[in-house]
Structure 1
């Protein structure tokens, strides 16, 4: 079991603490399959929503709150039945807009894993306005159910009435809609190939500034992040931040980063390179490789 989960186990019901230890192996990154979830429910006699609320200390243990020391955990439940954990990430010495909120982390986890529809988000603290706006970008975002400890479950529409979202800017394919872009960048480099694949599934309907980041770890593992824009602009999630929260969830240290690549669209209205470099250099002494891809004609 990973050491970071030891304190969290003391906050779980004994039956759940015993049942989940085998899942918290060195490869655990916050993903629990529908089958594993059903087994946990059977072993603990907890129904699904009770179980997910009880698991929040495990999600919060994935946090890296360098500035606040305030641990927030979130769990996304997909229509597939799988769950995806996320937690807040704060970058030392960097402006607060670089922060990743727990809900963003969990949603990006589900998106990177290929989840097509999010039904519920379970959080240990009430979602801030930033996160409510980020959730609203999702397919049927207003219908996502929010679960909080000691509160009745409510849809996002309860927490964000009179919402402003993609439809207000004539976007008909919200976040999580499958993106089939056609950017090309000839290369036989696996790190670049993965970045290009992620670029072609990124979400940038407002600026067309599609982008993706790949981080190669010391053991050769490649971790990624994609750009996820938002109708309110500021809650947009940068690809580097998504990659870094992916790294933390996956039980790596920032010192494990040996290579970093950003690929972005040549046709975008903005560039992501400055924000990506700032975030990367706050945690690792690694140069950012910046590449530009052209849309295939």
Structure 2
């Protein structure tokens, strides 16, 4: 029997990736309730995946948490009030932490923490689309996508030293740096088609690193859970968390930046 090729997952990745990109870009363009609905569904499904990877959480409880997360996001996004989100989301997350600790005696604080990340990023993406327009969000998504694609190909072509082998054994320094460079190229493209300033180059690379850290955080959770993928929802990609972990990291960074400093309006 021949050894499996390191490219054997490329075809399903490309097909499902193209389908997700087309659907996602359409809903980004539509904005409003259309994009909010995408965030609600994806946020709820990722909470379900996160809970499903925890042995102390029963399957029906995982589904219930996913539904609860989607319901909370729907209320928040319709009300456009982040403080309302915090008041609704924090108690269930604290309850989840208490249940986990009581059942197996182990500290699994990372579960509610990562759940809070999912909720915050889901809100942040919709708020960014509504507050700053399609162009900013398109740039954000493209930076995350090219960071992942460049890292995938550079890591398999060049290989080399691992970035953080104990947490994410497949990530190499060549893939990490390739992601930074590819993100900077996206920044350079947007300099030409928008009114953004030159700082967009290094900001794009920093955003790429935040995306990579989001990917690594999810890898750490999967390693602790002893699973390869968060679910099997997407052919060639695993689950939504496997595909959107980088977007979570990047969205949270941009949300933090927007809270701390004014974000300039850019136009085509």
What TM-score results when the alignment is normalised by the length of structure 2?
A: 0.25
Work out which structure has the larger RCO, using CA pairs closer than 8 Å and 6 or more positions apart in sequence.
2
The structure with the largest helix share of the pair is 2
The structure with the largest strand share of the pair is 1
